[in-house]
Amino acid sequence: MRLLVCSDVHANATALEAALQACAGLWERAVCLGDVVGYGPDPNEVVERIRSLVSAIVRGNHDKAVSGISDLEDFNPVARAAVEWTRSQLFPENLRYLQSLPRGPVDIDGFAFVHGAVEDEDEYIFAADQALPGLLESRRPVTFFGHTHIQGGFSYDGARVERVELSLMPGASFAAVNVEPKKRYLLNPGSVGQPRDSDPRAAFAIADIEKRRVEFWRVPYDIAAVQDRMEQAGAPEALVLRLAFGR
């Protein structure tokens, strides 16, 4: 069984389609870690695509804000503008779908899935000390998380937390990490639609359950086409520009 894990698509249909095309036929089930919408120009298209694609999904903070489950207090002005624009565009049925998304953790195929942290769906895990509680408390040895838009994650061997190092060879589509039986993991597939780890390519992961291996993929896509649609929609310039830098 191979599981496609995608997160933080953020209404970027071009990145999502490029990612799906690159790994077509290489997975059997798909999971989404939330932030289906927000920032990007294609909210309806992406909601409908994700809905038809996934076996399991958890909600992200943008999905909650857009669908009115949470307020906009924690959002900066640029993110807030994106939420309001997205809300104005979404068809009622797609808005209802976002409202219906469950909070993590969701368990499937022996893994746990969350948007932010294990205990708090809105918390960001950037550093080892932030990762430790989740590594200790998750119901599963391997938990996938999103929210930071940074591909990689953390492992714990019972003594210390280490960052999962990804070495993507030039020309390769993915870096593979072997899941060791005695360790616990918090793994981030990265963001499909708005990477922030200095690599602007769409990011996602494929977990191979039998081989105990996770592939961390990067796929180029037509960033300029997405930027054009964002400009037409009147998106803040900072949001348009950051796609090209992956920051």
- Which residues of this chain interact with Zn ion, rule CB under 5 A? 8, 35
Beta carbons within 10 angstroms of residue 102's beta carbon: 13
Closest approach of Cβ 33 to Zn ion, in Å? 9
Closest approach of Cβ 135 to Zn ion, in Å? 21
Choose among 122, 147, 143, 121: nearest CA to 132: 143
Question: CA torsion angle for 202, 226, 21, 2 (degrees, to 10)?
Answer: 40
Closest approach of Cβ 86 to Zn ion, in Å? 12
Nearer residue to Zn ion within complex by CB, 121 or 215: 121
> What is the helix (H) or strand (E) element at residue 17, kind and residue range?
helix 13-22
Nearer residue to Zn ion within complex by CB, 75 or 111: 75
Q: Looking at this protein, which amino acid is placed at residue 9?
A: V
Closest approach of Cβ 132 to Zn ion, in Å? 22
Q: Shortest Cβ contact with Zn ion: which residue?
A: 35
Nearer residue to Zn ion within complex by CB, 8 or 215: 8
Chain center to CA of 165: 18
Tally of helices (H runs) and strands (E runs) in the chain? 8, 12
Closest approach of Cβ 23 to Zn ion, in Å? 21
Nearer residue to Zn ion within complex by CB, 83 or 131: 83
What distance in Å separates the CA atoms of residue 220 and residue 96, rounded to the nearest whole number? 32
Nearer residue to Zn ion within complex by CB, 8 or 121: 8
Relative to beta strand 56-57, strand 29-32 is parallel
